[in-house]
Structure 1
């Protein structure tokens, strides 16, 4: 049994430790982290999962980004991590599904991520033609509509939320 709640500032240390465990400390060198620099995760969508002992066993974060010259708003999903001792229990899928539902409820129209298509397609993600900072593999750039037609014609460079 897991309890999913919005991430709070008190969770931050544990979340960072989980991400380091799941992805190694060098994770912040990935190009997608350039889109997160100086931008706070989206409150209410970034969530943690705790088990029956109140141990943090999963986390997911979302970041606001802009796409193309028009600066179309989108969410950047990631990272999502599950503690190695709890993997294979469906917790990652639970976090993704729960948070995507909340994103839809709060009015976001589209979500982007860099990840494995075979894993994320079950959540409705498809390959999209937007440009992430190099050296991102374009075959790993995926998107999902939260509102009908929200990805239609979406093109251009993905940039930090705070960039004009």
Structure 2
């Protein structure tokens, strides 16, 4: 396998259209029906925590973080994590996820949630949200609803319905 000259950098406003096209290639039109997408529609993502990955001038991947809350607890939802299908399996998703988690930690955030593949995200420290602690406003396989505590003790006070933080 050829080594990629991958460049990770913070998302910029002018990346928005290219990220939209990337997400369309990676997930197709059915993505809009998913609970996580519907939740993220309710509030803009945090551009200061978004990360892009490019190979040359080609946008090969991106990850975004959206502000959400449950009751009075404000935290983040990671996603979408998108990698162009022609670059899958080359570590871009891992690099983007690591960079996004570190950006959230550096920004002083206490918790990141996501809906995704537990075995994939376990390597970053994510685990299943304990049954009954948090719920999403739509159907989700509970085994795929994950969280990662960034600030010790933050999760102790987090429970309820997850909603967009406006």
Q: Tell me whether the two structures share a fold, i.e. TM-score over 0.5.
A: yes
Alpha-carbon separation, structure 1, partners of 2:49 and 2:123: 20
Q: Describe the SS at the equivalent of 2:155.
A: coil
CA–CA distance in structure 2, aligned partners of residues 37 and 2 of structure 1: 29
TM-score (normalizing by structure 2):
0.91
Correspondence 1:28 to 2:32: yes
Question: Matches of residues 107-126 of structure 1 in structure 2 within 5 Å?
Answer: 107-126=108-127
Q: Does residue 46 of structure 2 align to residue 39 of structure 1?
A: no
Matched, 1:19 2:27: no
Partner of 1:5: 9
* Matched residue count: 159
What TM-score does the superposition give when structure 1 sets the normalisation length? 0.92
In the other structure, the counterpart of 1:147 is 151
Within 2, Cα distance between the matches of 1:46 and 1:137?
26
Q: How far 1:107 moved relative to its partner?
A: 0.7
Conserved? CA contact 1:61–1:79, under 8 Å: yes
Kindly indicate whether the alpha-carbon contact (under 8 Å) linking 1:82 and 1:92 is maintained by their aligned counterparts in 2: yes
**Which sections of structure 2, spanning at least 5 residues, go unmatched?**
none
Consecutive unaligned residues of structure 1, counting only runs of 5 or more, are none
Match of 1:62 in 2: 65
Superposed structure 1 runs of 4+ greater than 3 Å apart: none
Q: CA RMSD in A?
A: 1.2
Q: Report the alpha carbon displacement of residue 62 of structure 1 after superposing the two structures with TM.
A: 0.5
Is the 1:143–1:151 Cα contact (8 Å) retained in structure 2? no
Larger mean CA deviation between 71-80 and 148-157 belongs to 148-157
1:160 to 2:164 alignment:
yes
- Distance in 2, Cα, partners of 1:77 & 1:134: 17
